[in-house]
């Protein structure tokens, strides 16, 4: 249920409505717009007569939400969510798209990671991504360096100023990852790990939530709802491909249409991951462009200093020289860098 207050509603009137909802067992989230305040009420609407709130002073209208994802829905918040970081980087809304790049896994070669980070910084990227804890299909595959990898990412951040993105797999590691990461990623395999979603919902870090390989858009947004319900509204969605009918030509089917669909129904920012979405190096650039053209707020790409010898996902990782060429064209597409005049249009 959504309660829209009058532009002239006082703080006392808003508080009266909120208290009445709390007394009925509802949880409330306030969205203070430029003109009016909207109260999202989450709970069992059978406990009240929703339109009884129409008689409260300062209430303009009451609206019942059809979508089960109330906090992530545009019915609850019409304006786009924009997530801002301490260094001024912003994701969402009409902000220029960002780039998140780095190796699938952080490996023992710190110098290799620093090479990737330096190239990312040079090309105007804002985030360095790298896995410390790796969910692998086979128990015999490389599982990650864990805290040592986080230490390496922190060193790279110190040298370049890039924000660090890394994946969390277990609630037991939450405090450790929070100590190092600027953004916590919840991978596709954990999209419906509700205990994990609840845990990151209680932390104060921005969360990248990746779409599960067999998840519908409704299920995807409901997973985001779990995080938001527990108090964390800094959620960034990531379309990274779903299972298709042909997994020989591509690793997954990158659902480009999901981006404008999600932007229609949700205010949350959404980025695209063409590396996991295709599993093929040559498809990263065209699918990144496709994602940006339909409205993605950013691109996540895997970049490795020596892809042929990478511990994981080498086949879908760009080498540093190829990455620079791709990044140059992507930057030109989004108008971030004017290469003809050799300068950054927007360093953020």
Over residues 149-197, the pLDDT tens digits come to 999 999 999 999 999 999 999 999 999 999 999 999 999 999 999 999 9
Q: Can you tell me the distance from the alpha carbon of 348 to that of 345, in angstroms, rounded to the nearest whole number?
A: 9
What tokens does 89 get?
Answer: 């980087």
Please, which pLDDT band fits residue 347 given cuts at 50, 70 and 90? Answer: very low
- Find the range with the poorest average confidence among 142-151, 182-191, 262-271, 296-305: 142-151
- Find the range with the poorest average confidence among 30-39, 76-85, 290-299: 30-39
Please, which pLDDT band fits residue 348 given cuts at 50, 70 and 90? Answer: very low
Q: Can you tell me the distance from the alpha carbon of 212 to that of 257, in angstroms, rounded to the nearest whole number?
A: 16
Domain carrying residue 36: 2-63
Whether 170 maps to a domain, the answer reads: yes
> Residue 341: is its pLDDT beyond 70?
no
41/136 same-domain check = no
Domain count, the chain: 2
Q: What is the pLDDT of residue 338?
A: 58
Whether 69 maps to a domain, the answer reads: no
Q: Which residues fall within 8 angstroms of residue 219, CB to CB, at 6 or more apart? A: 191, 192, 212
DSSP one-letter string for 255-296? -TTHHHHHHHHB-S-EEE-HHHHH--GGGHHHHHHHHHHTT-
266/203 same-domain check = yes
Instruction: Using alpha carbons, select from 91, 95, 79, 157 the residue that is nearest to residue 300.
Output: 91
Q: What is the pLDDT of residue 142?
A: 79
Instruction: Using alpha carbons, select from 100, 186, 189, 208 the residue that is nearest to residue 136.
Output: 189
Backbone CA torsion sign across 104, 179, 267, 25 = positive
94/26 same-domain check = no
> Residue 215: is its pLDDT beyond 60?
yes
125/255 same-domain check = yes
The size of the chain, in residues, is 348
> Residue 337: is its pLDDT beyond 70?
no
Please, which pLDDT band fits residue 304 given cuts at 50, 70 and 90? Answer: very high
DSSP one-letter string for 209-270? EEPPTT--HHHHHHHHHHHHHTT---EEEEE--B--S-TTT-SSB--TTHHHHHHHHB-S-E
Q: What is the pLDDT of residue 212?
A: 97
92/53 same-domain check = no
Whether 87 maps to a domain, the answer reads: yes
Whether 74 maps to a domain, the answer reads: no
CATH number of the domain residue 38 falls in = 3.30.70.1140
Residue that wins the pLDDT comparison between 64 and 71: 71
Backbone CA torsion sign across 179, 185, 189, 195 = positive
38/124 same-domain check = no
26/134 same-domain check = no
pTM of the model: 0.85
59/87 same-domain check = no
Q: What is the mean pLDDT of residues 261-280?
A: 97
H helix runs in 34-188, sequence order: 110-122, 147-160, 174-180
20/110 same-domain check = no
pLDDT tens readout for residues 85-138? 989 999 999 999 999 999 999 999 999 999 999 999 999 999 999 999 977 778
Residue 151 in 3-state DSSP? helix
Task: Please state, for a pLDDT cut of 90, what percent of the chain lies above it.
Answer: 78
Average per-residue pLDDT for the chain: 92
């Amino acid at each position: 249920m959504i309660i829209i207050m009058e532009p002239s509603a006082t703080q006392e009137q808003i508080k009266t409505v909120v208290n009445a909802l709390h007394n009925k067992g509802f949880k409330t989230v306030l969205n203070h717009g430029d003109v009016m305040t909207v109260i999202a009420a989450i709970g069992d609407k059978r406990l009240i007569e929703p339109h009884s709130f129409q008689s409260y002073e300062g209430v303009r209208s009451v609206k019942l939400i059809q979508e089960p994802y109330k906090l992530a829905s545009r019915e609850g918040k019409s304006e786009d969510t924009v997530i801002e970081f301490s260094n001024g980087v912003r994701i969402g809304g009409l902000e220029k798209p960002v780039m998140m790049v780095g190796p699938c896994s952080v490996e023992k070669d710190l110098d290799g990671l620093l090479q990737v980070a330096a190239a990312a910084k040079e090309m105007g990227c804002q985030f360095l991504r790298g896995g410390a804890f790796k969910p692998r299909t086979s128990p015999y595959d490389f599982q990650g360096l864990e805290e040592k990898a986080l230490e390496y990412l922190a060193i790279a951040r110190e040298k370049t100023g890039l924000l660090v993105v890394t994946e969390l797999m277990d609630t037991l590691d939450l405090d450790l990852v929070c100590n190092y990461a600027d953004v916590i990623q919840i991978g596709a395999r954990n999209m419906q790990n509700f205990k994990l979603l609840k845990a990151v919902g209680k932390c104060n870090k921005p969360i990248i939530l990746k779409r599960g390989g067999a998840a519908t858009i409704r299920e995807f947004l409901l997973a985001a709802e779990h995080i938001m319900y527990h108090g964390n509204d800094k959620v960034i969605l990531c379309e990274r491909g779903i299972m298709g009918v042909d997994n020989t030509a591509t690793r997954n089917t990158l659902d480009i249409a999901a981006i404008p669909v999600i932007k229609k129904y949700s205010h949350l920012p959404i980025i695209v991951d063409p590396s996991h979405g295709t599993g093929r190096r040559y498809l990263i650039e065209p699918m990144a462009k496709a994602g940006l053209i339909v409205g993605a707020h950013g691109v996540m790409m895997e970049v490795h200093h020596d892809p042929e010898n990478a511990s994981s996902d080498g086949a879908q990782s760009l080498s540093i020289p190829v990455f620079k060429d791709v990044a140059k064209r992507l930057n030109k597409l989004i108008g971030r860098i004017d290469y003809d005049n050799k300068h950054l249009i927007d360093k953020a």
